[in-house]
Amino acid sequence: MIEVEGIRKSFRLHKKAAGLKGSFVSLFHRKWEEKHALKGVSFKVSPGEIVGLVGANGAGKTTLVKILAGIVHPTEGKATVLGHTPWERKNAFRSRIALIMGQKASLWWDLPAEDCFLLLKEIYQIPEERYQSALKTLVDALGVRGQLNTQIRRLSLGERMKMELIAALLHDPQVVFLDEPTIGLDLTAQRAIRDFILRYSQEKKPAMILTSHYMEDIEKLCKRIIIIRDGEFVYDGPLAKITDRYAKFKVLTAKLDPTAAVHAATLFPKGLGEVVSSEPGELKVKVARDRVPEAASALLKSGGVLDLLIEEVDIADIIESLLREGVREGKSS
Amino acid sequence: MRSRIWRYVRLYGHFLAFSFSKGFEFRFDFYMRIIMDLCYYAVAIAFYRVLFLHTPNLGGWNEHQAMVFVSAYLIVDAINMTVFTNNLWFMPQLINRGDLDYYLTRPVSSLFFVSLRDFAANSFVNLLCALGIFAWAVARLGEPVSFARTALFFGLVGCGAFIFFTINAMANLLVFWTHAPNGFGELVWTLGKFGERPDGIYRGFARKVLLLVLPFGVISSFPARILIDGFEWRIFLHVVGITALFFGLLVGVWRFGLRSYSSASS
Amino acid sequence: MSGWATQVVSFELRKVFTYRFTFWVKYFVGAITELTVAYFLWGAIFAATAGAPDSAPGSNRLGGYTFHGLLYYTLFATLGANVVRTLDRGGEISGEIYQGTLSRYLVYPVPYLAYRYAAYFGLQLISVGQLLFGVSVALALFGVPADLAITPGSIALGIFTALLSGALSFTLTACLELVAFWQDTVWNLMAMLRFIGNLLGGLMIPISLFPEWGRSFVAFTPFPYLFSFPIRCFLGQVGGAEWFREASVLAFWILATSGAAAFIWRRGTRVYSGVGI
């Protein structure tokens, strides 16, 4: 459904020295700097799949989404979405995709949502019955029937985002791009939108690409993620596998009997792992995955342990460290 | 083809409905805009009346004929203010701030959207005022003007307004490459001054430029010529040809510009 | 000039230089368009009145000016008007009231309108530089016309007068922009002022070409002091005593309009809610 091969995108930016002199000099002479937003990326997305695109600001997520939605031309590379090259912007292509950007409004500010929807009905040439049933389903699913006739600018941020979702999905797109759909929303609205997207994806099975800064969005919605850093993919694969591949350790937390006068740290044999924290009543150690059974039994044998908890390192933490350090091993596979 | 045209007509119907419901909300603006344009019309007429205190003719036209020309450029201005100006005003912003994104993902001509989306309902009354000035100027001509000629005049005035829009739009679209805050629309607006004087005064090289390259000399003068001197194939084809050519150019510049649209990313 | 004002002036200069292309092109295209239109317009009128269509312009006079002189009138009108009302369209004050960003300035220990005037003055200085450049080129190419006494002294007096007229232009515009405290669109008021000023101020056509009743009418308005007065100074048409007489009328208008602006400001800040309307 979406096939991308070797997409590159570079921009030219001009630099200006500060102050009046710098401004004056730039009147006559300008320095340019090349910026590489995407450095040759390839991947595929199939129907029904929600792919999470994760990366720091400026990593190239939004640029990639805009290239696939046909807004921006890449400098180099090939992409096919629904059998079309996106940036040719054929109507047959555009009437089957949708783009939702949390930071940009597509609806007319001064008009009630329903007026905007009528215009979209015209734009996408949606037949009357299909329009009515799609509108009803979407409005009920998001619970905004009461706000349909309110001017967009008088709606709350969460309600506005829900209207944006309806506007984008009225024409039943087969490919949906969601760029930061929950940005700036409160937790309730975030959850409502997340639940809605999940249900929508299960029912209609479009191919979806989602970018978000909120790890919770990604964890709840995406089975597969792509981690992007400085214009390159650092990881592309199942979300679940990321723990197997990058979490070399597990964390063991032992609840201790506070009355027992054993010094917690001495319970744990040196060489098996690393003590993360040691407090009266609790001991935390990081242990290599293959030595977890050994470490657990060592702890239990030492006595004084009331309870033992074995945890994976938090996914968000792994991803964050991948974004920072850019571990490259994942790429070769 | 026909259904496509109808579709765009219906879309424009939506734009009109939006604009009127929005326009009525700002009453002060509504009235001030009428007064402002009346000022503009008064200044234009006063200027020509002062000139004709000192000369019997200007570029081959006497005072009454020149007033028909003045009414032509006021109608062109009123059409532009009503149909195009708001859209021209927002064009550089749409491009610079990356707000074009949504228009590009819709299965409708994005150029159509960007050019016609905002109809200035509050300028509409001025179109009527400008038509009033036209009626006054024609009455003073002293000779009867046939219905066919008047109809042709309005057709060509429509072309003129469209030519004026395409020149301005192309200038605005340069922001695809320059990223300057308000583009060059203002500059071309300045050049529009050439069109506020009869084409008959221009001679030599400047005349060629104003009839062919920057056709400000065509926009209002040629329709006025048809009304005053009667139908002439040469004049008619010139206006229609320039209209088609500049429409083609605009579409070309738009397509080419979109290739370098970088969509100010968030 | 106090420290903050110098900073504001320099800041405006920097902003203008940043958009290099627009900056120069706006200036050149504006001046060349006006001059070309004037060349053909006055040429056509001189040809029509002198009989033969191609007879050398300059053989007779129009409103006291030769053809050559009228072109210089247009040059100083165009470049002088840039000094008086700057290349900016205005709208900063009303924009800040409308968007609610005025609050930011209200907490600065600087009077807001004075701050705005300093920015305006910075733009005026740029236009002075442009005027000197354009006028030097024109004088080098076409020489001084026989009917006008354009001298370094007259140009200096013209610049000084244009800067003063700029103060009037600023206060006059400010009065209209401050209406934004009550209404959300004021740009049409400003456009109206511009149209009327263009004609009655003598930018489009010298006031000496107006009919008698028109001349005596405009004398009672502030408009001739906006443009016609500095233009005539540039052209060397205003002598010492006459200058002081007209300059005192100009000073009167500046005082009257700044008083009005201050009054509107006081009333306006009382109703100002600090948010966009």
Residues C175-227: pLDDT tens digits? 999 988 888 778 888 999 999 999 999 999 999 999 999 999 999 999 999 99
How far, in Å, CA of C154 to CA of C235, rounded? 7
- Closest CA in chain C for residue A27: C20
Q: How far is it, in rounded angstroms, from Cα A89 to Cα B108?
A: 10
Is any Cβ of chain A less than 8 angstroms from the Cβ of B257?
no
Q: Which residues are CB-contacts of A42 (< 8 A; sequence separation ≥ 6)?
A: A4, A5, A6, A7
| CA pair distance B46, B50, nearest whole angstrom | 6
Residue range of the domain that includes C247: 3-271
Distance CA B221, CA B217 (A): 6
CB contact under 8 A, A99 and B259: no
CA distance B77 to B161: 7
Please determine, for residue C147, whether its predicted confidence score (pLDDT) is greater than 90. no
pLDDT the model gives residue C55: 42
Give the model confidence (pLDDT) of A123-140 as tens digits.
Answer: 898 999 999 999 999 999
Cβ-based neighbour number of residue C104 at 10 Å = 9
User: Which among A63, A99, A115 has CB closest to B265?
Assistant: A63
Q: Pick from B99, B107, B265: which is nearest to A95 by CB?
A: B107
For residue C145, what pLDDT band results from cuts at 50, 70 and 90? confident
B140-159 mean pLDDT = 92
Residue C276 in domain: no
Q: Do A23 and C17 touch (CB under 8 A)?
A: yes
Across chain C, mean pLDDT equals 85
Which of B29, B85, B177 is best to mutate for the C interface (most C CBs within 10 A)?
A: B29
User: Exposed, middle or buried, C260 (CB in 10 Å: 0-12/13-18/19+)?
Assistant: middle
Which of B:12-41 have CB within 8 Å of A?
14, 17-18, 21-22, 25
CB proximity A111 to B under 8 Å: yes
What pLDDT is recorded for position C131?
A: 94
- Which pair of structure tokens corresponds to residue C131? 């005027």
What's the mean per-residue pLDDT of chain A?
Answer: 84
Count of domains for chain C: 1
Q: A113 contacts in B (CB within 8 Å)?
A: none
- Please compute the mean of the pLDDT values over residues B132-143 and round it to a whole number: 91
Helix, strand, coil abundance in chain C, percent, nearest 5: 75, 0, 25
> Please, which pLDDT band fits residue B223 given cuts at 50, 70 and 90?
very high
B interface mutation test: which of C16, C27, C188 has the most B CBs within 10 A? C188
Structure tokens at A24: 């004056």
Question: CB-based contact (8 Å) between C17 and chain A?
Answer: yes
CA distance A197 to chain B (A): 20
Q: What is the ipTM of this complex?
A: 0.88
Query: Residue C85, Cβ neighbours under 10 Å: how many?
Result: 28
Assess whether pLDDT exceeds 50 at residue B266. no
Average pLDDT over residues A224-251: 85
Q: Is C119 contained in some domain? A: yes
pLDDT score at A316: 75
pLDDT tens figures, A278-325: 777 788 888 888 888 888 888 887 777 888 888 877 777 777 777 776
User: Which candidate, B25, B196, B165, places its Cα nearest to that of B81?
Assistant: B165
Q: Which range is most confident: A24-28, C59-63, C261-265?
A: C261-265
- Domain presence at residue C59: yes
Q: What does the pLDDT read at residue A265?
A: 64
Residue A30: pLDDT band (50, 70, 90) is: low
Cα of A16 to nearest chain C Cα, Å: 9
Quote the pLDDT of residue B182.
64
Please give the backbone phi and psi of residue C184, each rounded to the nearest 5 degrees, phi first. -90, -15
Residues A16-39, mean pLDDT to the nearest whole number: 71
**pLDDT class of B102 with cuts at 50, 70, 90:** confident
Name the minimum distance, in Å, from the CA of B39 to any CA of chain C.
Answer: 6
Over residues A189-197, the mean pLDDT reads: 93
Average pLDDT of span C230-253: 93
| pLDDT higher at A4 or B21 | A4
Name the DSSP letter for residue B210.
I
Interchain proximity B39–C62, CB inside 8 Å: no
Confidence bin at B175 (pLDDT 50/70/90): confident
User: Quick one: pLDDT at residue A68?
Assistant: 93
Residue C36 belongs to some domain of the structure:
yes
- How confident is the model over A203-230, as a mean pLDDT? 90
Chain B residue numbers touching C41 (CB-CB < 8 A) = 51, 58, 197, 201
Q: Are A4 and A42 in contact (CB under 8 A)?
A: yes
CB within 8 Å: A27 and C14: no
Residue C272 DSSP class: -
Nearest to A149 by CA among A186, A172, A118: A118
Residues 6+ apart with CB under 8 A from B129: B34, B37, B38, B41, B78
In this model, does residue C122 exceed pLDDT 70?
yes
Is A125's CB within 8 Å of B7's CB? yes
In a domain, C120, yes or no: yes
Is C213 part of a structural domain of the chain? Answer: yes
Using the beta-carbon criterion (under 8 Å), do C45 and B58 form an inter-chain contact? yes
User: Is it the case that residue B179 has pLDDT exceeding 80?
Assistant: no
Q: Which residues of A touch B19 (CB under 8 A)?
A: none
Q: Is residue C196 a part of any domain in this protein?
A: yes
Residues in chain C within 8 Å Cβ distance of B206: 36, 40
Please give, rounded to a whole number of angstroms, the shortest distance from the CA of B261 to a CA of chain A. Answer: 6
Give the global pTM.
Answer: 0.81
Residue B204 has pLDDT above 50, yes or no: yes
Comparing C-alpha atoms, which of C5, C75, C92 is closest to residue C37? C75
* A171-175, A300-304, B223-227, range with the lowest pLDDT: A300-304
Residue B181 has pLDDT above 70, yes or no: no
Strand partners, A177: A99, A209
Q: Is C13 on the interface with A (CB under 8 A)?
A: yes
Q: Which residues contact B93 (CB under 8 A, 6 or more apart)?
A: B99
What is the arithmetic mean of pLDDT over A42-59? 90
Nearest to A27 among C10, C15, C17 (CB): C17
- Measured CA distances, C87 to C49, C112, C125, C206, C259 (Å): 36, 21, 11, 22, 25
